[in-house]
């Protein structure tokens, strides 16, 4: 006899990826090659408040690794990188100083 499978408990459910954080500024660097996305980020990160998050939209594969490296070099926080449905990434950076 067939039985209906019970709904999974809260602890058994698949983890859901967190939603991207709210950003104070979005920099559109789609179609631009590195180091242009980093230069755009460096120029504009001072325009947001301390602790604010900046999203850099980029489709250059070098930006995916270079922006987090820039964050470590400049003591800002790389929050996360999210894949965009149209290709590329939304790379989130938190201003620390």
Sorted by sequence, the CB contacts under 8 Å of residue 35 that are 6+ apart come out as 66
pTM to 2 decimal places: 0.80
**Is residue 29 included in any domain, yes or no?**
yes
Q: What is the pLDDT along the chain (97 residues), one digit of tens a residue?
A: 556 666 556 555 555 556 777 899 999 999 999 999 999 999 999 999 999 999 999 999 999 999 999 999 999 999 999 999 999 999 999 999 9
Catalytic residue IDs: 34
Q: What does DSSP assign to residue 86?
A: T
- Which domain does 84 fall in, by range? 21-94
**Is residue 3 included in any domain, yes or no?**
no
What gap in Å lies between CA 13 and CA 22, rounded to an integer?
A: 26
CATH number for the domain spanning 56: value is 3.30.110.40
**Is residue 15 included in any domain, yes or no?**
no
What's the total number of domains in the chain?
1
């Amino acid at each position: 006899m067939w039985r209906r499978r019970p709904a999974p408990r809260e602890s058994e459910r698949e983890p859901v990826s967190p939603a991207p954080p709210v950003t104070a500024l979005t920099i559109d660097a789609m179609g631009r090659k590195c180091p242009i996305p980093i230069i755009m980020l460096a120029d504009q990160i001072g325009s947001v408040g301390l602790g604010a998050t900046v999203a850099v939209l980029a489709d250059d594969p070098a930006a995916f690794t270079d922006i987090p490296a820039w964050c470590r070099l400049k003591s800002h926080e790389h929050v996360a990188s999210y894949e965009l449905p149209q290709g590329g990434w939304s790379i989130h950076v938190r201003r620390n100083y």
